Amino acid sequence: MTAPRPSPTSIHRENKLVLPLATKLAAALAVSLSVSLFAPRAHAGDGAYGRLEGDLDLGLAAGGAYTSNAPALLARATVTYVATAGLYAVYADALGSSDARIDRSLSAGVTLKPLFWARFANAWETGPARFDLFLDSFVFEIGALWSAPHGRALDDRPGLEIAAGLGFPIFSDATGPFVEVRAALRYRREDLDGTGRSDIFDRGAILSVALAWHHVVSVHIADAGDRAVR
C-alpha cells in the first residue's frame, strides 16, 4: 500500500513549528559563540589576568592620530614576550591632506613593558583587574623611523622614534580589546645631524588613540628545550 501524502495544511503547520525552532537554535548558537569568543575569562584574582597563559601577546590596533596640522589614520602591530619586551611596527598616513607636514610614516623597533613583573613579584597586583592591566600596560618604545615630508617619498635614511603609551582594557583580561593612547617624539636624519628644524611637529611628533585587540598565545618558547617525561 502507498503511504498517504501529508496534506498541505499539515505541512504548513509543521513549517510553522520547525522554522521558529530553527531560528531560536541559530540565535542560541550565535550567542554561545559570541560569549565563548569575547567574554572575559575568570582568573580568580591571580594578578596575572591571563598574561601567563602563553608566551606571546599579539596585538593589532587601528585608530586616529594627530600629527602637525592634520589628522591621520594609524595602524600598529606588536609582539611581546610574556609581558616584558618585544617588537612593534607603526604606519601612519595623512591620506593626502594638504595641511600635513608629514604625509606618511613607518616606524619599527623594540617595545618594553617594565611594570608587570616588578609589581607581580612584589604581590602588588591586588586589583581591580582593569586598574592593574591599565597600569601595567605602560610601554616604552624606541625604534627606527622613515617619514615622507609633504609631497615627497619616504626618507632613504632612517631617523629615530621614542614613544610611550598606555592601554585601558575593556575586559578584565589580557586577551581582549583595549583603548590605547600613544605619544611619540620623532627625529628625522637631518634632525639627528643638526641640520633640521627644531619644531617637534616638523619632525613628525604624533599623538594617537586606537582600538586594539590583544591575544595571549602559547608557542612554547619558554619550554622549547623541555622533553616530555614518559
Residue spans of the domains in the chain: they are: 56-217
Task: Name the band, by pLDDT with cuts 50, 70 and 90, for residue 98.
Answer: confident
121-132: pLDDT as tens digits: 988 998 899 999
Comparing C-alpha atoms, which of 204, 173, 214, 216 is closest to residue 45? Answer: 173
Beta bridge partners of 97: none
C-alpha cell read off for 15 = 513549517
What gap in Å lies between CA 47 and CA 136, rounded to an integer?
Answer: 11
Cα 43 from Cα 36, distance rounded (Å): 15
The pTM for the full model equals: 0.74
Lowest-confidence range among 40-54, 113-127, 166-180? 40-54
What architecture (CATH level 2) is domain 56-217? Beta Barrel (2.40)
